[in-house]
Structure formats: structure tokens, C-alpha cells
Amino acid sequence: MNFIRSYTLPLCILILVIHPVHAITEIGEGALTDELLDSYIWDGPLGCSIEDGTATFRLFAPRATEVHVILWEIVDDTPIASYPMYAIAQGCWKIDVDLPNTARYYGYSVKGPSNPSEIFDPYTVVADPYSPAVATINEHRHRSRSLLYPPNDFDWEGDTWLTIPYHELVIYETHVRDLTAHPSSGVPDSIRGAYTGLCSREYAGGLSHLLDLGINAVEFLPVQDFGNMEIPYRDPAAPIFNTWNPYERNHWGYMTSFFFAPESYYTSHGTMAHGRVSGHDGRQVIEFKKMVKTLHKHGIAVILDVVYNHVSQYDYNPLKLIDKRYYFRLDEDGEFLSLSGCGNDVKTERSMARRLIVDSVLHWMREYHIDGFRFDLATMIDSVTLQTITDKARALNPDVLLIAEPWGGGEYDLAKFSRLGWAVWNDRIRNGLKGRSPLEEPGFAFGSFLPGESMSDIVNHLMGSVESGGGPLRDPSHAVNYLESHDDHTLGDFIRLGLGICSPDDTVTTDIDHHIVSKPELAYHKLLAVSLFSSQGIVMVSEGQEFGRSKVIADTYALDPHIGTIDHNSYAKDNETNWLDYGNRDMNRKLVEFYKGLIKLRKEFRGLGGAQPEHIMHIETDDSLCAILRIDTNELGDDADLLVILNASQRTVDSTNIPGRWRVLTDGADVYDRASAPEFDATAIHPRTGMILMELTH
């Protein structure tokens, strides 16, 4: 029985305050055209505000015919009160309530036009889309309640946003749980996988690993409250027959439910036990802030991966139940469009959808001191909304980092975001250097070019994919250069597959040797790492890339027929498939130390990341797979010119045509500091080698 329907009678009895419900328009539901809906713009407050025990609730619900605010003392118990709201203007509903002493949570029931394609259901209560904190019940419907009294007494101790020059940025793309959930992290059980698990450097993993590596920014996979659970597996009674996800989970978080609320599963009392309540006391607000403040104290900026192009698919998402037609792009039959591939696409061009997105971005900046955002499938966000985000966010913090995933919904457009002054995930360098597929389309590092590419394209990728070299970007600072992300194979697995060390169907669950980066693999890792860290723009490293991580499907759920094989889409696995195993890090210390050395060089030399095309000269060699780039640092503040050598060939290449005297900062085997850097005296460049040299005299 629907748990809401079970208390229909008490709701009628508990109407304590009555206001007349005014129709938003008196010209009839049929006249509510898209043009009229577009005209509704409420610029007053939204959500709940409380003063001296009186709560004011405001909800934008433009086609609602009846709205109630409902109060609870206990999240999953019978409500203690219900109040009808009244329409005031521009699609907004409001009520002032003297709160009962026992009230702790609230939500809305919304009744609207009767239409087969609509989801209006006054018996299904949704939390406030403007909730700064929500309590959720662990099931695929993600039933939620807004907290009336979220914590607001946090002491930031003077903390504010960090400003790091773009050319020094080394972003670590990671997941809050993955960093500390594995026992090898050394983090106590009570806070493994939690925000607070990242607040101490005394453990083997987590914060200490980030600091040891030397990165200066983290990009967290989604942490806005999301639908953690998917449809029950192969349950014929479920609304959708789930044949694809035996774990019934969403681990990555690309299914946002509430744009203002931190995910409560990552708190010190977080649980995914079915039917349990998460986030009931609002500690997610305080613990998230504590994590950000700790990272800032250690010089690490915080970037959030945010999803505004679609919402959660299977839950009682408030936007779907408040007004599907207003908030979503629909087909002619009134059904959700899914160009995102995720079940529903947000109509970002609607004025109040745009406002919600912009308000959300500003909320995270103000309330959580977030330094930047990576916008998922950003081409699905309309141009006016993108410009508004740019203007409003930079008015608040001129140095805020705005990053686009520059594709989605069938579009692909890096240049569009560069014109806005945004950075973009630069898949051109990823594909050009590594390849699109380890088996079918390997790239430069494997001794080949993608179809239609040549060395000139590789050089352009390394220069930040700039327009002057035929690329799409106006400035190298707009390029977020990377080799691996959460999507698809890890770099380590890409190399394993590309070299034929294993195949996609191999079972490697118990094969410890599989996780040890062999000498042949190491050469490819290091060549690619030198290529990445000598590229112009911003550098991003994915979690575990520094030790050649392999995502092997963990033996945690017998119904998964692929246990022990390499995973290229681990979105559903909240287990050892995704969690960082620091034992594997320790087995691959040579590669970790190599990454640490390159990160240190990146910060020391502006020429590694901060050079413009006019500062770089491509020196031709007698091998089409060997690139030599000379970087003139006269105008950059470095005290020596740099030489980058990338030999992806299987043969040695003559280096006698390199003029001048040079010291070796990295020879493809080790990374040296200035004091210990040996003089370059070679006459040949070894195969599969990446080098960075520093001129002895300027």
C-alpha cells in the first residue's frame, strides 16, 4: 500500500490553517501555453525561511491547482500537520506557519491538471527543490523530507576560495567514497568513505595520499543529493524491468535529486541499508564544510562535478512531481526526452529552471566555498543559462573555475565554451595521445595516429588545442588535458589491453601480478605522463592513474556474470571495483614517484602549462613519431628554456640536431630536481621515451 495514501484521512483532519486557493490564471488550463509558462518569473525568495518560530514556505508550481505543505516529527512516520498554500503571483505558492514545537521536517503535495502524461499526484509528497538538506529513505523511490532546521553554526575560521594559477593546476578527479572506503586506506570504519574520512592526514590513504602526490585540486564526482538506488533487479513488479544492474545501485552519482543539498550517504552515519533513513540530523552540511575547510587548509581547491542537464530517473524527483511540463523537454506525446541517455532532459531554457541552476551554483559557492564546477553534458544547457552562470558566478568570485564536459545530447562543441571563457575537458589530447580504443584505435603513444591525424595534430594537442594550430580553443588556459576519467577504461587497463597483456574477457580477480605494472607497461605510462604534464593548459589525473589502477569487478555479488573481468563502466559498484586499494599503490611506487616528480616540475616551471603558441617551436626529426618542442621562457618568468622530447617510435632517433647544452629534468625513467639534474649528452633518443630538458644558459 502506498505509504502516503495510508494517511489520507488524518491529512484531512490536520488542516490547521486555511487560505483560499487562487487559480494562477482564470483563462483555463488549456490556455497555459509554453509562451505563457515562459512568462512566469518569480524573483522573490523560494524554499523555507524561519524567524521566531514562524516558517514561510514558498514553492514555484505554475500549473498547480492545489498545494499543501506537510510537517513531520519523524521522517518515516505519520505527518503531524498539513496546511494548504495559496497562490500569490507568477506561479509561486506561499504560506506562513507558526511551527509546532515537534516539527522537524516538511514536504509538499501538489495537485495539478488531469492529463495521462502528467505525474501530478497529491498523495506523493516531495521535498522542497530548494532544500539545503534532506533526509532520505533508502529505496529506489528515494522518498525525501526537507529539514526545517539544517545546521548553520559552522565556523569557517576565515576560510575562503583558493586562487591557483591555471598552469599550476593539477586536478585529481575522484569520488568521496573511493578515496577512503577500502580498508587499505587505514581510515577507521566509522568514517571510511565519508567526508570526515578526508579530514586527517594520519592515515595511509585519503588526504595523506593527496598531499604526498602533490595535487592542488580535487574534482569530486557528484555530491549533490542523488538517487543512490536503482530499480530492483529482475523484479516483474517494478515499474521498469531491470536487466542491467544487479547491484541496484548508483555509485557515481549522475542522477541528481536535490541541487542544493549535500549527499547524506557520505556522512559519519551514512548507510545504504534498505529502508533506513539517511541524513535525518543534517550533519551532511557540517561534515561537508569541514572537509572543504580541511582541504583548503592544505592548499587543495575543491571542484564539484554537477549535473543540471537531467535529474534522477527512478525516484520521486520534486521537479517531475511539481510540474513535469514546465521543467522538462518533452516529446509530442508529453513523454520525457532522453538525449542525455539518462531518462529525462531538463528544460534549462525555462526561466525558473535557469534560476534554479544559477541559484544552486551560487549556493555552493557561498555556503560551501566551492572553488569551481565541472558541468556534466554541458552542451545540453542552453546558451543563455551558460552566460548567466558565467556572469553571476564570476561576479561572486572572479577566479571561479568553470569547466564544461563539451558534449551531450548529440552535440560536441569545445569552441562554444572557449568563447565563454570556460575551460573544457580536452578529449582531443586524450584521444590523440592514448587513442579511442585500445584494440581498434590506439593513439600516438602506441606508435600510430588516429584516422586523419598526423604529428602536427599531436603538437597542437600539446599546445592546448588552440585555434592558431587548427584546434577549437582560444587560449591554452581553456584546455583541461587528461588521459583518463571515471568513464571507460582506466589508463592502466587501456595499456594492458593495448599491449595484449590481457583481454576484455580474461578473469583476473585473484591475479595479484595483474595489478603490478610491468616494465613494458611502465614505459607507456611514463611516455604518456610526460606528454600530459608538458602539455599547455590545465592537467587532470584520475584517481589511481598514478599507480596504473585496474578496475577488476570485485567478487561481492554472485549475480554479476562478469566477476573478475576488467570493467569499463563501473557506475553501479560501491565496492572494491571502484575503491582505491592503496596496497596496489604501494606495489607500484616507481610509477607513483614518477607522477610526484612531474607534478613538482609542473608547479616549478611556468613553461610546462603556461606557454602560449608563440613561445613554442616544433623541431622536426627524421621520425614521424618523434616530437621535439622548444619552449621559450623569456616572457614566462622561468630562468631557462625547456625542451620536450616525445619519442613514440619503436626505434632510436638522432638527437644531434638539438643545439645548446641541457640538463635532464626527466629522462623517461626518473625525475630530477635542479640540483641533481644530469647534463644531457646523448646522441640518440631511446624508443618509447618522454624527456623534459632545461637549458643550461638562458
pLDDT digits (tens, 9 = 90+) for 241-297: 999 999 999 999 999 999 999 999 999 999 999 999 999 999 999 999 999 999 999
- Concatenated DSSP letters for 16-74? --------S-SS-GGG--HHHHHH----S--EEEEETTEEEEEEE-TT-SEEEEEEESS
Q: What gap in Å lies between CA 25 and CA 36, rounded to an integer?
A: 10
User: In the listed set 74, 96, 125, which residue is the last one of a domain according to the structure?
Assistant: 125
Q: Is residue 641 part of a domain?
A: yes
Q: Is residue 17 part of a domain?
A: yes
Number of C-beta neighbours around residue 242 at 10 A: 17
Q: What gap in Å lies between CA 451 and CA 441, rounded to an integer?
A: 8
Q: What is the mean pLDDT of residues 478-493?
A: 98
Domain CATH code at residue 687 = 2.60.40.1180
Q: Give the closest residue to 490 by CA, choosing from 544, 445, 533, 535.
A: 544
Q: Is residue 81 part of a domain?
A: yes
Q: Give the closest residue to 316 by CA, choosing from 255, 377, 265, 273.
A: 255
Using pLDDT thresholds of 50, 70 and 90, give the confidence band for residue 512: confident
Q: Is the pLDDT of residue 26 over 80?
A: no
* β-pairing verdict for 626-631 and 642-647: antiparallel
The percent of residues above 90 in pLDDT, for the chain, comes to 87
State the pLDDT at residue 31.
53
Q: What gap in Å lies between CA 271 and CA 266, rounded to an integer?
A: 8
Q: What is the mean pLDDT of residues 118-146?
A: 93
- Specify whether the backbone of 402 is left (phi greater than 0), alpha (psi in -120 to 50) or beta: beta
Q: Phi and psi (nearest 5°) for 58?
A: -135, 130
Positions of E strands within 286-356: 301-306
State the pLDDT at residue 3.
32
- Predicted confidence (pLDDT) per residue in 565-589, tens digit: 999 999 999 999 999 999 999 999 9
Q: Is residue 674 part of a domain?
A: yes
Segments forming the whole domain that contains residue 87: 5-125
State the pLDDT at residue 411.
97
Q: Is residue 254 part of a domain?
A: no
Domain CATH code at residue 58 = 2.60.40.10
How many domains does the chain fold into? 2
Q: What gap in Å lies between CA 317 and CA 211, rounded to an integer?
A: 38
- By the 8 A CB rule, do 270 and 264 touch? yes
State the pLDDT at residue 34.
85
Report the chain's mean pLDDT, rounded to a whole number.
93
Q: Is residue 580 part of a domain?
A: no
- Predicted confidence (pLDDT) per residue in 27-84, tens digit: 344 457 888 899 999 999 999 999 999 999 999 999 999 999 999 999 999 999 999 9
Q: Is residue 373 part of a domain?
A: no
Give how far the C-alpha of residue 439 lies from the chain's centroid of Cα atoms, to the nearest Å.
Answer: 28
- Predicted confidence (pLDDT) per residue in 329-349, tens digit: 999 999 999 999 999 999 999
State the pLDDT at residue 603.
96
Decide: pTM greater than 0.75: yes
Q: How many residues does the chain have?
A: 698
User: In the listed set 110, 125, 140, which residue is the last one of a domain according to the structure?
Assistant: 125
Q: Is residue 623 part of a domain?
A: yes
